[in-house]
Structure 1
Amino acid sequence: MTQKIAILGASGYTGAELVRLIATHPGMEIAALAANSKAGQSMAQVFPHLRHLDLPDLVTIEEIDFAGIDLCFCALPHKTSQEVISALPRDLKIVDLSADFRLRDPDAYEKWYGNPHAAVEMQGEAVYGLTEFYRDEIAKARLVAGTGCNAATGQFVLRPLIAGKVIDLDEIILDLKCGVSGAGRSPKENLLHAELSEGYNAYAVGGTHRHLGEFDQEFSAIAGRDVRIQFTPHLMPANRGILATAYVKGEAEAVYAALANAYAKEPFIEVLPFGETPSTHHVRGSNFCHIGVVADRLPGRAIVVGALDNLTKGSSGQAIQNANLMLGLEETEGLMLAPLFP
């Protein structure tokens, strides 16, 4: 039986990516698309690359009859998402792509996002949506909180190393580059072509990036003690992709073995042969994450590089992976498309 799907926030990049992926998903059918700012328009008007699809027109959230919906993707901005989700039917399965339910501690949410959480009673219900590490909980969940795209990449690179106790937890540096679509579709002066192209800049330097809240939460839980990494994101003049480079203190062979063993049976995570490193080109438009390990010239140190597509494995693809589990479908269904190259 085909599952009926609603997408809230369908006029954003992650909304469009959800539509692109679900369009060929054998077990899902898009029954409703909401985008309050563009209600009344067709998806072809908003995203001409989707004009070949037979899709419902965009409506306001209030116009959707959720009685016939099996699962709802919420691709709305932070703060807006918690308010909307609080008003949805309590028996509706939801995958939230915003940050509103990622952090379990309401005080941590207020620290990183600047306002008190408006749906604290639902925070305890939400399951963190890093599929490879919360698979069983996600399958039983009603509400799943998709991870940040930067947070997902860093965790794929570092979680097995922390769990395997093969690195010094006080010597972790994560240097990350992200494509411009990670900033969303809203117009911003610094994202204009003339201001972004031919340049490259660090941002949120010194430990102010919001995804550090996820790193603190998840890494500390794994280690059973506080883990605080050094993390600097960079904006690169590319539409899609994240490349994360982690500098760690540990024997490179042990680092490689921990990653290879952790992901040996994972369909979407490829650990490259020792000494090879990935490129964002090789995962573009796909739900795959590639990870490489290289021994540093300094003894006892290793460099780990991870690459994924921020809109797919970092957001919408991961959301569908979670939805598959929640709906009792094959986890890989609709997601095994090959990357786009070149």
Structure 2
Amino acid sequence: MGRYSKAISRATHWARSGIDGFGGVARYAMAVLIWSAAVLWIAALMVVATGGLVTDAAKGGRTTIMLKHRVSDAERARRRAIREAEAELSRCQSAHDREVAAAKQHLDALCDVNGKRLGKCHGVTLFERIIATPQGTVSLIGARASVDTAGNLAVTKRTTLTRTVAGGLVAGPVGAVVGGAGFKKTKKIDARELYLHIEAPTLSCVVKCPPDAGARVRSFAAAVNTAASRAEIEEPQRPQRIREAEQRLAMAQAARGPIEAAQHRAHEITSNPQLLAGIDSARRELESYRKSKSPLPAVPGSTALGKDKLSS
């Protein structure tokens, strides 16, 4: 404000010196012109000064925003690295769990006393190791299945409304009754029978099946014979296969190397000194800039001391 006061005093001096040689209306008009010029000059000085202040404030704001972004970028980089490490750990853990589950499922299947269910037909259920019938459950080893049929008759039934018709006349080689109501009707009666026969060393079972289910029953009997042949081959090998499955499960459970490596990597990322140092450096730079732009606090007694010096 000191330079503004000097400008006003200078403008006043110019106005007074400029109007000394004029009188009356001319003196008044000249004074107005000189004062107008002085006001415009002072306004120009104020605009320039204010513009400089605004420019400095804008620069300071942009610098603060830039430093804040630097802090945010450093924090975001650390969070992204931690997320990637945790995702890798999750993938390794999931792969390990799947391998262990598959090995355990294989071992459980080998140890199952029944084995996998293969099919069912009219009360007879077939498994990989046994067969369950209405007469009991036995091992498939030595079991056999067959299908038997009996009877296939067609009966012609003659139906006559009346044995004789009064006034009727039999004529022609085909035995037509003239003037009567008699006729011939043919009906086919299905008297077939279908049986599923299951035979094992300790069991013999015969199951009666619907006559029209022949294809399905024969397919089931073939499946029984195939499963029995496979059981005769695989059952002696089952103890060895169980031991191998147990070893596979133990190896799958012990294979935690990728998981431990991913855990170590995640721990390193979380406590990475470089990432933490980058965040701390950006924060310190922002705080230092804020302190440099903040006004200095007033020292107690400084005003009084200045007055004492002036008075002395």
RCO higher in structure (CA 8 A, sep ≥6): 2
Tell me whether the two structures share a fold, i.e. TM-score over 0.5: no
Instruction: Give the structure with the larger helix fraction.
Output: 2
Query: Structure 2-normalised TM-score?
Result: 0.15
The structure having more radius of gyration, on CA atoms, is: 2
Query: Structure 1-normalised TM-score?
Result: 0.14
Instruction: Give the structure with the larger strand fraction.
Output: 1
